Amino acid sequence: MSSVISSTGIGSGLDINSIVSSLTTAKAAPETNALNRSKTALTAEVSAFGTFNSALATFQATLATLQDPTKLATRTATLADSTIATATASSGAVAGQYSVQLQNLATAASLSSQPVASATTAIGTGTLTLAVGAASTSITIDGTNNTLQGIVAAINSAPNNPGVSASILTTTAGARLILSGTATGAANAISVTQSGGDGGLASLVYVPNGTKNLTQTQAAQDASFSVNGYAATSPGNVVGSVISGVTLNLLKPTAANTPTTLTIGNDTQSAQTSIGTFVTALNGLQTSIQSLTGYNAATKTAGPLLGNQTLLSFQSQLSKILGQVNSSISGGPNSLAALGIAANPQGTFSTNATTLSNALTASVDSVAKLLSGSNGIATQLNTFVTQYTQAGGLLDTINTSLQSSLNNISKQQADLTARMAIYSASLTAEYNAMDTAVALLKQTQTYLTQAFSTNSGSSSTSTSSNTGLGGGTLNTGG
């Protein structure tokens, strides 16, 4: 607390500033200490709940994979000859082996014109109509764009281009117009017709079942292959509609009568990794709770949330979910313990890698049934944890309440500071008044002392003179 004056009392000689400061501090001390203790405790609670929330968020993040059977019970897809094709499989794919024979890849159409002197040689004017499947566009060619360069630019910039890319190939024989389809498949053959103008564009006409003034350098065709001896086709080289849950990416034809083997299996490694990550995060959460709510006998230090009912209740419900046995599951693991995940005396969990691996190898779908779906353990855990972590949830409510209490303490501290400032000013005024009174008294004392000293001196002089007169000898002369 600051004082109005900072000098020593003129009249009393007392250090008024120090006296007022000490008295003000002493008066404020009980309330100040109480407020500081409350603030320290509340701040520790805010920090503790923040630590809990962080561990909870890390734990909840691991549940996303476990509660989704399509992510947990995934499949692997492997081809014996990966130069022929690659493959991926979803959880819906059936484990097994398939024989794949690839005759040819799906291709896009490619057409070439006869050579002309150069790219700037005039070809003709009129209207070119390009069609791919059911889509088409008409392009006007006039004196401004009637060369190969102009025609290429007009085709590539056409707003309704049906899927044709134009370019120029210059060789020793001259410049050629190249038209390439942008989509593979037999349905995407290119057709070029012309009308009007000077007739020069007739050299670019190509109708698959009619006039062919352009040369087809590559036909638009479907991929042709067989699976387990059954013929199949696809307009593209990415095939996802032949084997359920499997997508093939075709790369090159196989040698005649030399199929390659596609194997669909269970991805137990990914599932084991996901479950291991879950257990690690669970242990982190348990350790965090123990640290926050425990008591260290050696250091005689209590956790900031010792006895907190929110965390005690959370831990109780968490243990209940983790320890449940799903009696509706038969022929597979029906509890975490059956997966080799067991609680330790310290409150954390350990995993028997062999037990877990055996369960996944036997049936990753059975493991997924225990953990995933509407009644799976991971789903129940996520629903439970969300009650705490969601916006407006329990932790949000607790934090809001703690912050409100901290704000209230800050207000009380500000009020106390204001009251002590008034108290300090009042004391200072009283001490100043006292000092002034003392100064006046000292002045009076000094005056009286001087007055008495003066009167005493005068009396002594008079007495001495009188004594001299009375004691002298009268000289009458003579």
Q: Which of 102-111, 184-193, 390-399, 424-433 has the lowest mean pLDDT?
A: 424-433
The pLDDT of residue 8 is 56
In the predicted structure, residue 364 carries a pLDDT above the cut 90: no
Reported as a single tens digit per residue, the pLDDT across 371-406 is 998 899 999 999 999 999 999 999 999 999 999 999
The pLDDT of residue 474 is 37
Residues 6+ apart with CB under 8 A from 235: 106, 183, 184, 185, 186, 187, 188, 222, 223
Q: Distance (Å, rounded) from C-alpha 150 to C-alpha 177?
A: 11
In the predicted structure, residue 421 carries a pLDDT above the cut 70: yes
- Asked if residue 364 lies in contact with residue 271, where contact means CB atoms within 8 angstroms, the answer is yes
Amino acid letter for position 335: S
Q: Distance (Å, rounded) from C-alpha 224 to C-alpha 230?
A: 11
Beta bridge partners, 212, equal: 206
Beta bridge partners, 75, equal: 266
Q: Distance (Å, rounded) from C-alpha 136 to C-alpha 164?
A: 10
Read off the pTM: 0.67
The pLDDT of residue 460 is 55
The pLDDT of residue 469 is 39
Average pLDDT, the chain: 90
The pLDDT of residue 450 is 84
- Residue 456 pLDDT level (bands cut at 50, 70, 90): low
In the predicted structure, residue 131 carries a pLDDT above the cut 80: yes
Q: CA-CA distances (angstroms) from residue 268 to 322, 359, 360? A: 22, 9, 6
The pLDDT of residue 64 is 94
The pLDDT of residue 346 is 86
Average pLDDT over residues 432-457: 80
Average pLDDT over residues 113-139: 96
- Residue 5 pLDDT level (bands cut at 50, 70, 90): very low
The pLDDT of residue 11 is 58
Q: Distance (Å, rounded) from C-alpha 137 to C-alpha 108?
A: 19
- Asked if residue 260 lies in contact with residue 81, where contact means CB atoms within 8 angstroms, the answer is yes
Q: Distance (Å, rounded) from C-alpha 245 to C-alpha 47?
A: 48
Q: Which of 175-189, 224-238, 355-369, 430-444 has the lowest mean pLDDT?
A: 430-444
Q: Which of 3-17, 82-96, 97-111, 409-423 has the lowest mean pLDDT?
A: 3-17
> What's the distance, CA 236 to chain centroid?
38
- Residue 188 pLDDT level (bands cut at 50, 70, 90): very high
